[in-house]
Amino acid sequence: MAKFVPVEPFDLVIFGGTGDLAMRKLLPSLFHRDIDDQISDDSRIVAVSRREMSHEAFIETVQSALRRFLPEGHFDESVWQRFASRLSYYAVDVLEEDGWGELAGAVGAHTDRVRVFYLATAPQLFGPIATALGRHELQHGQTRIVLEKPVGSDLESARAVNGAVGAVFSEDQVYRIDHYLGKESVQNLLALRFSNSLFEPLWRRGTVDHVEITVAEDIGVGTRGEFYDRTGALVDMVQNHLLQLLCLVAMEPPAGLDPAQIRGEKLKVLRALRPITELDVEASTVRGQYRRGAVHGEAVSGYGEETGIESSSTETFVAIKAMIDNWRWADVPFYLRTGKRLPMKTSHIVVQFSPVAHSIFPPQTGRPEPNQLTIRLQPDEGVTLSLMTKEPGPGGFNLRSLPLNLTFSEQFHVRYPDAYERLLMEVLRGNQALFMHREEVESAWAWIDDVRNGWEQRGQPVVPYAAGTWGPTDSALLVGRDERRWLDPTE
């Protein structure tokens, strides 16, 4: 069983330190790592935001957030006292000069330890914050900067952000975070593919019929309505999460686990993605927006009612047929699907293998079904491989598909760190393997911009779908035209 290894002393500065991400994810993740003794006694966690707040008020806010967002029974009073002693708060308007001097004085003294600046802010502030950090000489050899997604809103803005940050920090100091890359099952893709001789010879055209990647949410946009309406599902989910999953499924074997080697292979996949332009955007993509319906038996409002933007043309659902033009994956479709207000919260990758070339079994025994490898990312992380077998008993020779099931929670009887916990520790260790390179981000944006431009030029409409369904019927038709269908996790 893997053991938790403590990290070296550090100063972690969270810009946006009173925001939703910090309170809901970052601070609870750090608290969990403190429970497991991964954080050294003299490490410091510094929160920064514009809000004027006393140190005592901030401590109370954090305690309240931990009690609210940690799983039941995980708040440990003795650990809290230790954790609280690490915390401090500074009010800084990052676009003004006030407050920067005090922050620099507090953080800049320790030049002999790892220093991490986590930018849990709007992307348009990434450049100004990096510039200010350079101006106040807070960058040194062991300094790292973490950028939350999205990095920019299109290729042009992403280049501007990367340029501004790159003017102060070298590329090996920049950590562009996508929390999906921290999930146990996502990382297990590397082990599944490259440590099992069973799979790698089959992981290619000829033996793989198609690949499906689904990230489904049962919630609506909630309080993110104003932000989401400027973004949409394509940018919010496909540009980062789904394309990163696609890269890990499709990439060539790296020479080793060196971060540069892994990121280099992912970049090759992004550059091999066939552009989706105005000529084929209608045949290769579906846009949808949820209307009133029922999720888990409860009636829910439509997107327009929930956001108050009744005439919005922002998509809350996207389905895409993506093609990778290289030797391994030529003519193998990758079907991507994501949406809000779907029947359940689930994320999975399905590798559908080709059917047997010839069945020796008579029709009455049942038709051999193609083998299917399903990697479950949430809610129950694990791997399932379907195999054909004979039904036992004296009733004749009947075929049946049965799963070989590896569920991580059942096999490993320990709570393993969640995505943000793992990624935060990897930043502190200086391991960039689970983070995106500048060129990855820009290549992903170039592909996404083609899709958006195609939608605009063709005037592709947003198709309504009832909340609680698997999206517009056009999504089923997208794969149905190829005589395929989406996996239904409820079946």
| Cis amide leading into 379 (omega within 30) | yes
Query: How many Å apart are CA 192 and CA 96, to the nearest integer?
Result: 49
Q: For residue 332, give the amino acid letter.
A: V
Compute the chain's Rg from CA coordinates. Answer: 24
- Give the DSSP H or E segment for 20: helix 20-21
Catalytic site includes residue 241: yes
Cβ–Cβ < 8 Å for 320, 233: no
Q: Which position has the token pair 């170039």?
A: 446
DSSP-assigned beta bridge partners for residue 320: 285, 336
Q: Work out the angle at residue 116's Cα, subtended by the Cα atoms of residues 112 and 122, and round it to the nearest 5 degrees.
A: 155
Residue 223, number of CB atoms within 10 A of its CB: 10
Cα atoms in the Cβ-side hemisphere of radius 13 Å centred on 32: 24
Look at residue 111 and give its three-state secondary structure: coil
Question: β-pairing, 463-466 with 399-407?
Answer: unpaired
Contacts of 155 (CB under 8 A, 6+ apart): 442, 445, 446, 449
Q: Which of 32, 179, 210, 241 is catalytic?
A: 241
Query: How many Å apart are CA 464 and CA 211, to the nearest integer?
Result: 26
| DSSP state string for 56-91 | HHHHHHHHHHHHHHSPTT---HHHHHHHHTTEEEEE
Instruction: List the structure tokens of 382.
Output: 């694990």
Query: How many Å apart are CA 122 and CA 21, to the nearest integer?
Result: 11
Cβ–Cβ < 8 Å for 316, 221: yes
Query: How many Å apart are CA 186 and CA 311, to the nearest integer?
Result: 37
Look at residue 291 and give its three-state secondary structure: strand
Q: Work out the angle at residue 71's Cα, subtended by the Cα atoms of residues 70 and 74, and round it to the nearest 5 degrees.
A: 75
Query: How many Å apart are CA 323 and CA 275, to the nearest integer?
Result: 9
Query: How many Å apart are CA 472 and CA 457, to the nearest integer?
Result: 22
Q: List, by residue number, the catalytic residues.
A: 241
